[in-house]
Structure 1
Amino acid sequence: MFPWLHLLVFHLLWPHVWSFRICAFNAQHFGEKKAANQEVLDILVKIVQRCDICLLQEVQDPKGQALSKLLQGLNRQQELFQFVVSPPLGRNSYMEKYAFIYKSDKISVRDQYKYHDNDTKKPDVFAREPYVVRFTLRYADLQDLVVIPQHTVPDKADEEIEALYDVFLNVTSHWRCNNLVFMGDFNAGCSYLSKKKRRTLRLYSDPKFHWLIGDDIDTTVRESTTCPYDRIVVYGEELANLVNSAGIYNFTKELGLTEAEALKVSDHYPVEADLKLKYSSAHTLLPSVILIVLSVLAAGGTKTLQ
């Protein structure tokens, strides 16, 4: 009787493809001074806005003003981005935060906690403990995603990466979720972590963990260095099978910067992974559609959708 109704229902129920991008970026001493440089801040906005979830590391922003300025830049056109941030982490006087910036139209934070390593066989192994965040990806076939950040101390990289397996055991006992992403500046290359040493690490030897950023990928900005410091590791076949691509975002090349200009932003490139997710718009549109259909039926079917 109403052929347009069949088309509308088909459109709602038919799954759409969502190219979901998750990123990790060591923003190198990101604080008020760096945020006050408008050129640098504008570049940071261009980098972060490409990502659905972006983990920022080396956030040194005690008052939160740098993150607020970044968020203002991201939301200049649309109130879309939100963030969740860890407490200051570190030993002695040197402290950093992990900040997760995400697009709130399809993503929300379900839970979060700071991992405590005081009860492990080797207490206080992490200088900056992982701040674990559990995200809900609304309307997607993959709704639950846990992100575990880590910025290792360079000369302790092997010990801290090895301890990430204990974090994995803790998270999977804490939450019933098998979709886990470990990412950050692992310092997992060059003189800090040899290939021979890495083979002994549980996060590498267990075949259920997939290292998406290979040893051949240079994550450093300086042309004089070629090191795969920054990594993304996903757990489980289901999540691994959703990965469409992974690599770095070379903002020097993509934004037409000189090396000197790029180094004002960071000495690291962001690492990122693109996932192909399926989602349906029915959850968001269905209530409005029901009202439209009811109004058309009440009018005796004389109205049509424009």
Structure 2
Amino acid sequence: MTPTIYRAPGSKYDKIVSKRLGDSASKEQYIFLYRRHSGITIVSSYVYHDPQNVFEREPYIVKIQSTKTVLSEFVLAGIHVKPLQAIQEITALETVHSDIVSKMKTEEILFLGDMNAECSYAPKKYLNYIPIRTSNKYHWLISDNIDTTVSKGTDCAYDRFILHGDKFLNAIVKDSSKIFEFDKEYRLTNTVALSVSDHYPIELEMKTVTSSAPYIPFTMFTTVCFGSVICSYYSKQCGFLRNLFRNQCQIEQKEVEIVAIESGLQELIHKILFAVEKEYSWFKISRILPSGSFYEGTKIGNLDEFDYMIVLQALSGDDIELHDGCNPWYKRIEIKDENHCFNRYCCRVRYENTAYNYRYHLHTSKYIVSDFWHAVTKFQKSAKLSVEIPQGILTHEENESDKLLFTFTKRTGIPESTSQDKDRCLLVPILRMDIGVDLMMSIEHPCLESVAKCEGFPSDYKELLMKHGCHIVIKSCHIQHFPEPTCYFISFAALELELMKNLDEHHKKCYKILKSLLTGEMNFKGKCMNLSSYVLKTAFLFHVYGSKGCTYSRLDTKCINEVLDYLSSCFYNIRMPCFFARDMNTWGHILEFPVHSWTGWDCYDSRRIAFCFLWVKLWCKIVHVVKIAISAENIPKMDDWYTLHDKCEYMKRTIYYLLEKYTDWDNKDVQRGEMTNEEIKVPLIEQYELSG
């Protein structure tokens, strides 16, 4: 009960600190900091004895005497509630209250701390029925409509003052309980503020004895102290993640070189698209929209890939009408004008037996895509484009796949070879890098209001939709509708780009770390249920901008573990909602898997279905192994971290091999296995022992 007071020489402050508390490897300490010579005396303190093990971190109780406030003696009880046990721990504070009265002989008690006392952790339908909330003996001084979190993505009253005692209540200045918005006070950006804490301090004022001016003995700042203590326990994890981020998650080129390469590429792309338009006038492009990881600020490794969405002018306007396809997120495109240049791709031209109602609907996208890339290939063979930039030369190369290929040859400072040198071997090779550019043809959606009204679209993002729009991508769905027209899906790439660009540096860092560990560079036609960079991006969008938002501290391990938990849950349920189409599965409504083709198998063989489930289980296991390693209670040695990194690299290469075989239609070793969401039932998942 006798407190230990810490006094730093020359400091204006004294402090009293609890022992390290916590049932897991993550330990925290409570600290009460107060001005020296302020009339405050610490009488006694203790950590609540928790015989029922209700609390993750037991409350720390301090009895205080004050000569300058109306209330001369009172008790403060600090508490940091475990999020997933919020209701149970808040309920148990009544028992703590009885213990304080017994030990410290006073009813004037203030519970204070991060109680996670709202939103999903403590819903009102439960919170409003516990005694400490309903009893008129307790006063909740921070109301439910106060947002105590710094993050723009959350609005929750997590931090609270719960006061007991009429004398204590009368000693508080009316309406003085509030949050201290330090970001506004010190004009900090949200990113800088979050690096300090993800919670605002809460404060109250107490009446003084001799002056009408209020005296403020306590401002409660929940997160900074906790964060600094946790960091010491996660130092090895943080060290590994920091090292991984520095070595694996940066773009290798310098900023000036990056800008020059991007500018040179855009010049060449414009020339190629102009040449395509000359060949086929209906492929005139109205806009070129950047997309993908480079423009999102999440590119790692070499600057070897760029993505653009090109908007077809002929199809972006009043000449088309959209009809629902497989579902509201897939559209059939009808061309109103009988003389429209895209009528050559309509059903009546491609298939004579098409139903009359669909005569002027666009059929499969393969003919549009084929003609576009045929024009690109024709231009490639007739002219070899290049552009010089200060750092080297960008050259357009011939390429048979449906993407543009460029090479960047870097200047090395070595004089160009002469005829006398041609037989010599150069000691220093010329640096060369291949750069791929994906071009996705699209149509501007003509009616954004109809998109905003779709059931799965999150209403909070209507304004963002109206600002950036969305697009119909010239890419067919994966269901065979013949002879009916094909469906084309709605893309929210412009909205995703805006949200990803606005991620704070902390979350971009976490995304890049997991991207380097879990995703490989494998581009292929079609879909396959796997952990792609897009799936990982979707998980982070929900983590940061979802209904809960990111409620953790700025520790990388916390956010990474939550994202891995979410991914594990999605793989277990074989469903991941799209961020802007919540009723759609990111993996599609037809789930496709690579299946090894042993002799004697047919497409409906039960063993083939088992292989599909084993593929899903593989991904569950991969996510589980990484999560366990990063959140390990027995902190691994650095050698163990490098082993984990090697395992991830081996896993990525294995997956790359399987997917490469899967997309090679001439190879019979690995074939396509398909199941609809309706065909996948929980009993089957349990039968094959799928576990997150």
Same fold (TM over 0.5): yes
Q: Partners of 2:105 and 2:113 in 1: how far apart?
A: 23
Does the Cα contact within 8 Å between 2:65 and 2:74 map onto a contact in 1? Answer: yes
Matched with 2:50 is 117
CA-CA distance at 1:279 after TM superposition: 4.2
What do the CA deviations read for 1:149-187 (whole angstroms, capped 9, x no partner)? 110110100000001110000000112112111010000
Report the residue type matching 1:274 in the other structure. E
Matched with 1:149 is 78
Matched with 2:181 is 250
Matched with 1:100 is 32
Matched with 1:22 is none
Q: Partners of 1:159 and 1:92 in 2: how far apart?
A: 18
Matched with 1:135 is 64
Q: Partners of 1:139 and 1:101 in 2: how far apart?
A: 17
Asked if 1:187 is matched to 2:90, the reply is: no
Does the Cα contact within 8 Å between 2:68 and 2:208 map onto a contact in 1? Answer: no
Matched with 2:609 is none
Q: Partners of 2:210 and 2:55 in 1: how far apart?
A: 37
Instruction: Decide which of 104, 111, 116 is 1:175's aligned counterpart.
Output: 104
Q: Partners of 1:82 and 1:191 in 2: how far apart?
A: 37
CA-CA distance at 1:232 after TM superposition: 0.6
CA-based RMSD of the aligned residues comes to 1.7
Does the Cα contact within 8 Å between 2:84 and 2:121 map onto a contact in 1? Answer: yes
Matched with 1:198 is 127
Matched with 1:57 is none
What do the CA deviations read for 1:27-59 (whole angstroms, capped 9, x no partner)? xxxxxxxxxxxxxxxxxxxxxxxxxxxxxxxxx
What SS is found at the alignment partner of 1:155?
helix
Report the residue type matching 1:107 in the other structure. I
What SS is found at the alignment partner of 2:74?
strand
Matched with 1:269 is 200
Q: Partners of 1:215 and 1:199 in 2: how far apart?
A: 11
Does the Cα contact within 8 Å between 2:16 and 2:33 map onto a contact in 1? Answer: yes
What SS is found at the alignment partner of 1:182?
strand
CA-CA distance at 1:102 after TM superposition: 1.0
CA-CA distance at 1:203 after TM superposition: 1.3
Q: Partners of 1:94 and 1:209 in 2: how far apart?
A: 31
What SS is found at the alignment partner of 1:97?
coil
| Equivalences, count | 203
More displaced stretch, 183-192 vs 237-246: 237-246
Report the residue type matching 1:255 in the other structure. Y
Which has the larger strand fraction? Answer: 1
Instruction: Decide which of 216, 219, 239 is 2:168's aligned counterpart.
Output: 239
Asked if 1:209 is matched to 2:132, the reply is: no
Matched with 2:20 is 88
Report the residue type matching 2:14 in the other structure. Q
Q: Partners of 1:184 and 1:227 in 2: how far apart?
A: 14
CA-CA distance at 1:142 after TM superposition: 1.3
CA-CA distance at 1:242 after TM superposition: 2.2
Matched with 1:163 is 92
Which has the larger helix fraction? Answer: 2
CA-CA distance at 1:140 after TM superposition: 3.4
Identity, in percent, stands at 38
Q: Partners of 1:169 and 1:233 in 2: how far apart?
A: 15
What do the CA deviations read for 1:64-122 (whole angstroms, capped 9, x no partner)? xxxx9xx87xx8xx74310000000001311000011012311111000110111xxxx
CA-CA distance at 1:196 after TM superposition: 1.9
Q: Partners of 1:182 and 1:93 in 2: how far apart?
A: 25
Matched with 2:147 is 218
Matched with 2:392 is none
Report the residue type matching 2:41 in the other structure. S
Q: How does 1:17-36 map to 2 (within 5 A)?
A: none
Matched with 2:626 is none
CA-CA distance at 1:139 after TM superposition: 4.3
Could you state the TM-score of these two structures normalised by the residue count of structure 2?
0.29
Q: Partners of 1:178 and 1:227 in 2: how far apart?
A: 29
Report the residue type matching 1:117 in the other structure. D
Report the residue type matching 2:28 in the other structure. E
What SS is found at the alignment partner of 1:110?
strand
Q: Partners of 1:91 and 1:240 in 2: how far apart?
A: 34
Structure 1 gaps, min length 5: 1-67, 281-306
Q: Partners of 1:202 and 1:115 in 2: how far apart?
A: 20
CA-CA distance at 1:277 after TM superposition: 2.4
Q: Partners of 1:109 and 1:137 in 2: how far apart?
A: 9
Structure 1 segments of 4+ aligned residues over 3 angstroms from their partners: none
Could you state the TM-score of these two structures normalised by the residue count of structure 1?
0.64
